[in-house]
Amino acid sequence: MIFFSCVSRLSRSFVLASLLAVTLPLAGCGVNNIPTYEQNAKAAWSEVLNTYKSRTDLIPNLVATVKGFAEQEKSVLTEVVEARAKATSAQVQAPPDILTNPEAMKTFQETQAQLGGALGRLLAVIERYPDIKSGQNFLALQSQLEGIENKIRIARSDYIQAVRQYNTEITTIPGRWWRAFVYPDKTEMAAFEIPADEQKTPKVDFGTKN
């Protein structure tokens, strides 16, 4: 029994050594791809968080500007404030494993989508108030919001691409082999789905452009 056990261990070692001998020439420096792609995805996610935070930071000034002209729109303003609070809380309280936790990622996306929807409804209301649309404060906020929304789209796209690269690496050969032997703790990252309706919200166009 001892003899066969030793032979079995030697056979496994031989198979592993043979596999590595074949893999190394094919993969080159591929052993570093997984941690590299993982860090790229994490960096892209940080940029997503930063851009969303920029939007939430802008909302109080936007609400204050609208409130001064359209006090009667309290329900819309309240919706935006509450959605902002939920989105901020979801970002601050996001679990450490959110990138590999599909449910946590889904919750995060839903709160951001709710904020985007509420913000879109607020912007639609502003259409009824020419004085707001022509105000210097609002024009400045409009420009900032347009820039932030564009950055959000770019940041989300970059994150999606980074996660796709990472997930592909750990699920295809030779990356799958490196994962099995060197990075067994690595798991696929959660996808960031962008519903079609969210991509259209908010539409930042108040008739102030020619």
In a domain, 119, yes or no: yes
In a domain, 36, yes or no: yes
Give the pLDDT of residue 9. 54
Give the pLDDT of residue 64. 86
In a domain, 10, yes or no: no
CA atoms of 195 and 84, how far apart (whole Å): 19
Give the pLDDT of residue 17. 59
Give the pLDDT of residue 52. 95
Q: Residue 46 belongs to what domain range?
A: 30-199
CA atoms of 41 and 165, how far apart (whole Å): 9
Instruction: With CA atoms as reference, report the closest residue to 49 among 165, 152, 119.
Output: 152
Q: How far apart are the first and last CA of the chain?
A: 87
In a domain, 7, yes or no: no
Count of other CB atoms within 10 angstroms of residue 92: 8
Q: How far is CA 108 from CA 26, 90, 104, 112, 145, in A?
A: 39, 6, 6, 6, 21
pLDDT tens per residue, the chain (210 residues)?
Answer: 554 444 455 565 565 556 556 555 544 568 899 999 999 999 999 999 999 999 999 999 988 888 777 667 788 889 999 999 999 999 989 999 999 999 999 999 999 999 999 998 888 888 888 888 778 888 898 889 999 999 999 999 999 999 999 999 999 999 999 999 999 999 999 988 765 555 454 444 434 444
In a domain, 59, yes or no: yes
In a domain, 163, yes or no: yes
In a domain, 19, yes or no: no
Q: Any residues with CB less than 8 A from the CB of 63 and at least 6 apart, and which? A: 77, 80, 81, 122
In a domain, 71, yes or no: yes
Q: In total, how many domains does the chain have?
A: 1
pTM above 0.85, yes or no: no
Q: Any residues with CB less than 8 A from the CB of 69 and at least 6 apart, and which? A: 129, 131, 132, 135
Give the pLDDT of residue 65. 84
Give the pLDDT of residue 201. 44
CA atoms of 90 and 78, how far apart (whole Å): 18
